[in-house]
Chain A
Amino acid sequence: MEFGLIYELSTPRPFTRETQKAVYENAIAQVVVAEQMGFSSVWCVEHHFLEEYSHSSCPEMFLTAVARETSKIRVGFGIATCVPSFHHPIRWAEKAAFLDILSGGRVEFGTGRSSTWNELGGFDSVVDDTKKTWDEYIRVIPKMWMNERFGYQGQYHTMPERNVLPKPWQKPHPPMWVAVTTNGTELDAADRGMGALILSISDVERNVPRIAAYRERIKHCNPVGAFVNDQIAIANWMYCHPDGALAKQRGEELVSTFGYMAGQTVEVSEAYPASNYTALGLLGTLRADPTAPGDQKPISSGLCFGNPATIIDTCKRWEAAGADQLVFMIQAREHLPQADILESLRLFGREVMPHFSQQRRPRAVNG
């Protein structure tokens, strides 16, 4: 079992330049401490126009800054949006390869397609096509990395033969992932030989069947890249404190803060009915009963809030369920003081991590 961090870079109002800078700098400082404590990865989302919830429009820049302050921790796109109005696939191939070189081969390339009207509407995207464009991107990007020259005629982009530069440090290329929020996307990941970055934060038990289904399905995959990345990372929350009750209370505050920020955004399914957005996305999973206005969703038993013993128990349950990594959100809208966050990371590193093997399970080499 490995442990990582995932950043939304949520930012409190008012959006002053000082506040914005503090959010970025605090996050970088947290990653530096996390690396010292043995965390193995840091992921950064790509979001646009999501006020307070996520001011992380340029994850490659954050990850580059992190990479230059660290030496071992892997840097993951969580995710790179594969929608034409956001990015051309060539640009993702270039940016990921560039970062892979600057980081000495530490890139994890997560992919996805966005689930909010804020973003898809803001970029005037063709909402109905996002699954299709994602499928085209994930098949051509590895070829841009591996082939000296590459050209293709796709449904969404066409390019004459060009040498896409630079090529990544990792050979044959960085591991590829897909963000999983809705049920079934883990099977999309498995079919394509990609890692599943499961973002629908929920109980351990609810994820057991989807992890098992992923493991079974990926045995027969047709990988989009040169190798199969049969890894499952689960997004989670973490706040570790010797006083378990206090940790739980603070954890609930983080989740609640996150929920209210997320709740104000407009999911695609709320604004633009489409066959490729029928399930609730990440934000929808935060809404317990759609008809009751005031109730709070109970905190999931799979979240890592508590004293070290409690968190060890929770992480063991995730490990038994088949998760390879837990990637933690540790802050929301700067709700907790930076010193407390850093101390939580240190306590987790000192007292929780030694109970888990940090040996990475070897990835399957080919399909």
Chain B
Amino acid sequence: MSAIELLYGQRSGDTVGLNATTLDLSSRGEVSLPAVEIHYCLFELPMAHMLPRLPESLHPSIPAILGITVWRCSAGPLGPFSLAWIGLACRTGIKPRHFIHSAFCDNEEVGRWFKSRYGFPCQTALVHSLETYDRIHSRVELEGTPILDLETHRLQPLVGLGAMVKYSPPLNPARLENGVALVQMEATFEFMRVARGVPHAPTYAAAALGDDSLRPVYAVSGTFAVANIGLHPPRFSLSPRLPAEQGGAKKI
């Protein structure tokens, strides 16, 4: 009888989160963000590019998928901000997650908050997102240079029960009491409006976006949603070395 031998990431857990921030666990409350505009695009990429980047405790999704998320929040307790992050679709056990390798926020203080609460590796950058009649366009500019242009065209509204997007929770390396762990951001979404279209990334400066070997190749879907978001404090941590199904997941 064979043990379960499935596909895992090939990156040594020892190399994950070397520069990770220490998580601030003092703030345990929920945070509500009203009417956030969410631009979320998925692309396939070669599995051979993904596996070496994924920690050994995570399973890849098959096919390999790169996810780009941009939030534009105009009001709420954190103040106005735009936040973008990029990650790889993966699995903790059998559950879908995105392992994040870069994040950008246009509000330095809010960026620090996402970093200390959820481990997002936030850099301060200009992050724009704009809905026009023909497209959603998001941009990240670092030190005056556009490093990401993300567009979704041919948008169709999703209505009724279909007016929703299943976002995979982001997973970030962060430093906890016992060392580096992967921490997920859990959120609930109350959708007001959802549309789906075809994504395109005319500018993708891979190195500046966190990993020179990862580039979007094949468009899967682009969505634009307006939703009230409830952000929950982190509940679980996962070892970058030991898979969840082997005891690597722990409650915080």
Contacts and interface: CB of A to CB of B under 8 A. Distances in A.
B228 interface: no
B1 A336 contact: yes
Interface residues on A, range: 35 or more
A268 B7 CA distance: 21
Contact of B249 (A13, A265, A294): A294
A275 B165 contact: no
B29 interface: no
B158 A13 contact: no
B247 A294 contact: yes
A334 B236 contact: no
Contact of B184 (A118, A270, A293): A293
A336 B61 CA distance: 25
Nearest to A50: B62
A263 interface: yes
Nearest to A121: B220
A31 to B, nearest CB: 22
B4 A260 contact: yes
B89 A266 contact: yes
Contacts of A261: 6
Interface string A242-265: 000000000001001101111111
Contacts of B5: 12-13
Nearest to A278: B161
Interface in B160-195: 160-162, 164-166, 168-169, 184, 186, 194
Best-buried of B92, B162, B169 by chain A (most CB within 10 Å): B162
B4 A257 contact: yes
B210 to A, nearest CB: 22
B143 interface: no
A278 B164 contact: yes
Most buried by A among B166, B184, B248: B166
Contacts of A121: 44, 63, 220
B169 A52 contact: no
B221 interface: yes
Interface of A: 12-13, 49-52, 117-118, 121, 253, 256-257, 259-266, 269-276, 278, 286-287, 290-296, 333-337
**How many of chain B's residues touch chain A, expressed as a range?**
35 or more
A264 B60 contact: yes
A296 B4 CA distance: 15
Nearest to A13: B5
Interface stretch (B14-22, B93-101, B116-124): B93-101
B245 interface: yes
Contact of B160 (A262, A275, A295, A296): A275
Main SS class of interface, A: loop
Contact of A275 (B162, B235, B248): B162
Contacts of B65: 266, 271
A292 B238 CA distance: 10
Contacts of B166: 269-270, 273
A101 to B, nearest CB: 37
A274 B158 contact: yes
A294 B165 contact: no
Contact of B92 (A12, A262, A293, A335): A293
A12 B1 CA distance: 12
A315 B42 CA distance: 44
B244 interface: yes
Given A275-B158, A278-B162, A278-B164, A266 B61 contact: yes
A272 B4 contact: no
Contact of A263 (B95, B184, B194): B95
B130 interface: no
Nearest to B220: A271
Nearest to B160: A275
Nearest to A53: B62
Given A269-B166, A294-B245, A259 B94 contact: yes
B159 to A, nearest CB: 7
B59 interface: yes
B162 A271 contact: no
